Amino acid sequence: MKKIITASLIAIGAFASASCAIAQEFKQPIKFVVPFAPGGATDVLARMVAPKISAELGQPIIIENRAGASAQIGTQFVKNSAPDGATFLVNTDSSLTILPNIMAEVPYSAGRDFMMVGKIATLPWALSVPAANNIKTLDQFIAYIQKDPKQGNYAVPTTGGVPEMIGEVIGKKAKVDMTILPYAGGAAIITSVLGAQISSGVTGTPEALNMEKTGKAVVLAVSGAKRSAYLPNVPTFEESGLKGLTADSWFAIYAPKALPKPMAERFNLALNNALKDPEIQKKIAEMAIEVTPATLAESEKYYADALAYWASVYKDKPKAAAAK
């Protein structure tokens, strides 16, 4: 009898292992939905990691750009997709952590509908000013706008989040009403800053680095808890005396929330293996963003913490009405 029981337990264990392996298998082509137009950083990163992930999971990966409505269109598409490992969202944090807090109607719940299955890279934000204004430090910029409050303006490439918060915190410090200038992306901000058409602009570190290289702009500070590896001589906002600007943005991959855990673990491993590739690391470094892989557990905690943080930031602020 004892031998029979032992044999049965072995058989059950083997069946469980086989079932787990089957659960991890990806049995159909995979779609990476990018909620932005082709050519941007999110799209480039998706196309960069896709071949390596495809090879490891044994399925072709198709990149599908579904741009519009501040990334809501592509994000909603993934929310409505089956949680079967066939559809993933490659996205920045904004449409998930920011938009639901500043817009009255968003067609998804960031916490209920999505899980982060892995991080790709982190993007600090930077404040740059025209070199023609002869401003070298954040304190000098604050003194500049205090002397002439009309110069208290800043351009942002996206609504809400860290870029908008930077201007708000500077305005409070200077006791000046900062005017926010919404731009359609970082490229347009570069033109305005280099041409001294605006007093300041908030962009990602890649655009800030490009501006600094021209000699026509000065990068005053960066967000995050530490200095950017690509702008090592630029202090953080915290170092410069402005508290509360340690948050960064990031690029990550998400799945519908009900994706089975074994499949999520398998995908996370494939993504992290892709990020170990020296060629991919080199290409991401050339974009002036930092590779920041994370385990599935780390990704889930990071995502939950970010959702809680931004919900607290916007808790008492009114939401904008949805566009008709």
Tokens 């500070």 identify what position? 221
CB contact at 8 A, 225 and 157: no
Q: What is the DSSP letter of 38?
A: T
Instruction: Count the Cβ atoms, other than its own, within 10 Å of residue 228.
Output: 26
Q: Is residue 138 part of a domain?
A: yes
Domain limits at 294? 28-123+248-313
pLDDT confidence of residue 24? 66
Mean pLDDT of 84-113: 93
pLDDT over 80 at 4, yes or no: no
Share of the chain above pLDDT 90, in %: 72
Identify whether residues 118 and 130 lie together within a single domain: no
Model confidence band, residue 19 (pLDDT cutoffs 50, 70, 90): very low
pTM of the model: 0.82
Mean pLDDT along residues 53-66: 97
Strands of the sheet with 30-34, listed across from one edge: 61-65, 30-34, 87-92, 249-256, 114-123, 290-291
Q: Which of 222, 238, 256 corresponds to the end of one domain?
A: 222
Task: Answer whether 280's CB lies under 8 Å from 199's CB.
Answer: no
Looking up tokens 């909603």, which residue turns up? 76
Is residue 196 domain-shared with residue 134, that is, in the same domain?
yes
Q: Which helix (H) or strand (E) holds 73?
A: helix 72-79
Total domains in the fold of the chain: 2
- Residues 298, 279 share a domain: yes
At residue 324, the 3 state secondary structure works out as coil
- Three-state DSSP at 57 gives helix
